Amino acid sequence: MIMRQRRFLPSLSQLLAFDAVVRHRSVTSAATELNLTQSTVSRLTQSLEEQLGTDLFIRQKRRLMPTQAALAYQGDIQRALDMIQRASMSVVANPGGGTISLAVLPTFATRWLGPRLGGFFEAHPGISVNLSTRIQRFSFETEIFDAVIYFGDPDWPDVHHHKLFDEALTACGSPGFLDRNPITTPEDMSGLPLLRLENRPESWADWFAGQGGQMTGAEGMVVDQFSMMIQAAISGLGIALLPDYLARIEMAEGRLLPVLDEAVPGSGSYWLAWPEAKASQGALSRFRDWLADQAAGQHPDHMSRKTVSPSP
């Protein structure tokens, strides 16, 4: 049984007032945001200081300057308030509890998962899915996600992993760019701008190795999302290196053309991961099974249904 100490559990009113004053550095602006009187906001912040037994603000005439401790505390409070808000929204959206909060890569969400979700909702009308995009890893202890879809290896700590599919890479450029720069061997790419993804520094080396060549020093834009890389390639700014599930979309539309062999094996995979606390959640279990079927149809040669449990 968890025993909580009342002193360290301020009221929601106190925390909202504190958060607003820190952000605005002003009781007046905080009161306007919260639709409260200035005296009420002042009373709430003072009572919070008294409850915690520490000063959170330096009072300078009509302004309140947060201490370093207050700034650190506010960061934690903001995350906690976000978690409470999202949990409440989930309850309102689906009182039966059939809600999944999923973190997912931005381009994967819009170009692969999003177009397929309608089929999931038709098959499971009582379940709703809330999506938030995440590029960097996070802790399930501080975020209110039930699961995450990410790229890499099954090394997210303290979670179960379910492999969706291996990544294969296709280099492609706009028709105009390739007309100006014909490519028949990997060596023909020497000196051409190679567009790179910020968190995949080794991808081009993998692609060149798969083509039987070796990557030489090359310049090119660095972006943090595949959607920006796609647009840069379509605009003729260089050669994009895309997961083949994305490249096929652009090639089918004729906006990009493949360079040399398509779908060269990469060095990572797409994974669904979830914490032990969510392992028995029925909605997540049904979503996992549906997602596995979708991934199997996407890449039948690379699909693995293996689920990796967290390390003891």
Could you report the average pLDDT of every consecutive run of 10 residues in the chain (312 residues)? Answer: 74 92 91 92 92 88 85 90 76 65 91 92 87 88 88 90 92 95 91 89 87 78 90 94 88 92 85 87 89 78 49 46
- Contact (CB, 8 A) for 295 and 164: yes
| Reported pTM | 0.66
pLDDT in the model for residue 22? 93
pLDDT in the model for residue 217? 64
| C-alpha–C-alpha distance, residues 264 and 167, integer Å | 9
Tell me the DSSP string of 165-220: EEEEEEEEE-HHHHHHS--SSGGGGTTS-B-EETT-TTHHHHHHHHTT--------
For 301, the 3-state DSSP assignment is: coil
Please name the helix (run of DSSP H) or strand (run of DSSP E) that holds residue 298, with its range, or none.
helix 282-298
pLDDT in the model for residue 312? 43
pLDDT in the model for residue 258? 93
Per-residue pLDDT tens digits for 207-232: 998 888 887 766 788 998 898 999 99
pLDDT in the model for residue 238? 93
Strands (E), the chain: 57-60, 63-66, 99-104, 128-133, 147-152, 159-173, 196-197, 222-223, 240-243, 257-258, 264-275, 307-308
pLDDT in the model for residue 303? 37
3-state helix/strand/coil string of 47-68: HHHHHHCCCCEEEECCEEEECH
| C-alpha–C-alpha distance, residues 310 and 298, integer Å | 26
Query: In the chain, what are the domains?
Result: 6-91 (1.10.10.10), 97-165+268-308 (3.40.190.10), 168-266 (3.40.190.10)
- Contact (CB, 8 A) for 32 and 44: no
pLDDT in the model for residue 91? 64
